[in-house]
Chain A
């Protein structure tokens, strides 16, 4: 299923300058894997060595933090939008 992934400013140079890319997958994790298949350097920026998201990376599915859902296992409907953002803002 096709999903739109919005790339944050800080990572756009690793995604060929794109502000968003198309991904395939039925979960958040699968969709991100398909992005890494195109843009391999992004994996290390977003994931820890144990394969989980880095603690200062937030991923939102249609505006909802995936940690309120099922994390990387969260199912993504076709046409959904994933947004990756730094977590250190605000306060």
Chain B
């Protein structure tokens, strides 16, 4: 494989490609490093990708797996989600060109299937028989489903107050669902402690985190391929831990480095909910690290008060000329509705955050007239129904034409 080692992002200490996520010298995060062939015929590299399966394994050469390309009709293949040109959304916001990457169209309806596919496959290569995770909901769905698909036991730890839809869509797969009395950061602390003592468990976002995080690069790979091997000028991406946001940039960068793409990576805009906005606050204050917060927002899938990749997200926003913004719960609801009304895509609260931040950037005049913008929609509206409850009205009628017409006449509407 092209992956060569794990390397600490802080002090550059190198480690073999094992189940290890933190540098034992400085506690910095470990990241997968590759040795890609830069002399290869680019046309051949593109054909090899395009001839691959309709899922993330078409990018197998850019993922940290040892074995041959995983069987593509087994397990729970993720990715190859639609990239839709959203002209009505663009027009509403006064923008030229907006593309929506709809990652709700994954097996468990969120981008988490990408990261879990890579982590679970690597976990099997390393000999693990059990998957586990700390989750704000979408990851819980995905780990439980991958455990079922791959025949691995799973333990899924979530905050006890998580949306009912996300609990149901986890438990149905037959996992060990553990509701922790506390917020996500409490769940994460517990899992970090557990992972030290459960050596045969692959915690996808703890001891498998370097591999897991690589799965997010496939969002960038797909966008570039779907745009005909070009990059958007700007990406708007939600931030919880900051892993997706930073890895999308890494994905574009890797394709530039091997010659698959030309130019600078996109301007990267991060999106947070005001009720949990440690990265947006640090960005605004000009700081290079985040002060943790206690989350209080309807966007529970983004409710990480102590974001692991916060410092790197801040670096990335500044290096690309982007920003990290936050929006209120009402703006999140409005964002969900705006996306639904203009694209036909019903997203969860995280997508509401991302759409609302796009609207904010447009209103602020941050987006140039000629820009091509990609909006990353990470999850499905049916998982957070409470966010939109009571936000619309319906006509209730008897089953006859008089009643039907009377109902509209009452509202002064002619049909």
Contact = CB atoms under 8 A, between A and B. Distances in A.
A58 interface: yes
Secondary structure type dominating chain A contacts: mixed
Given A56-B10, A57-B27, A88 B185 contact: no
Contacts of A63: 186, 189
Given A88-B22, A91-B308, A55 B289 contact: yes
B188 interface: yes
A10 B191 contact: no
Contact of B27 (A60, A68, A86, A91): A86
B240 A91 contact: yes
A54 B289 CA distance: 11
A91 B189 contact: no
A72 to B, nearest CB: 15
Nearest to B29: A88
Given A56-B26, A56-B28, A91 B205 contact: yes
A65 interface: yes
Contacts of B209: 88-89, 91
Interface in B356-400: none
A87 B205 CA distance: 12
A25 interface: no
Contacts of B10: 56
Contacts, number: 91
A63 B186 CA distance: 8
A46 B22 CA distance: 13
A39 interface: no
Contacts of B307: 91
A45 B191 contact: no
Given A56-B26, A85-B189, A85-B192, A91 B289 contact: no
Contact of B241 (A56, A67, A90): A90
A44 to B, nearest CB: 9
Contacts of B243: 91
B311 A55 contact: yes
Given A8-B196, A65-B292, A91-B304, A45 B188 contact: no
B238 to A, nearest CB: 11
Contacts of B206: 89-90
B379 to A, nearest CB: 14
A54 to B, nearest CB: 6
Nearest to B135: A90
A46 B25 CA distance: 9
Given A8-B196, A89-B205, A54 B304 contact: no
Interface in A1-56: 6, 8-11, 45-46, 54-56
24 contacts: A6-B193, A9-B197, A10-B27, A10-B196, A11-B24, A45-B24, A65-B306, A67-B291, A83-B193, A86-B21, A86-B27, A87-B27, A87-B308, A88-B209, A89-B192, A90-B191, A90-B192, A90-B206, A90-B308, A91-B205, A91-B213, A91-B241, A91-B242, A91-B307
Given A63-B189, A83-B189, A88-B29, 20 more contacts: A9-B196, A10-B196, A45-B24, A45-B25, A54-B26, A56-B22, A56-B27, A68-B292, A68-B294, A85-B189, A88-B21, A89-B188, A89-B191, A89-B209, A90-B192, A90-B206, A91-B209, A91-B241, A91-B307, A91-B309
Interface of A: 6, 8-11, 45-46, 54-58, 60, 63, 65, 67-68, 83, 85-91
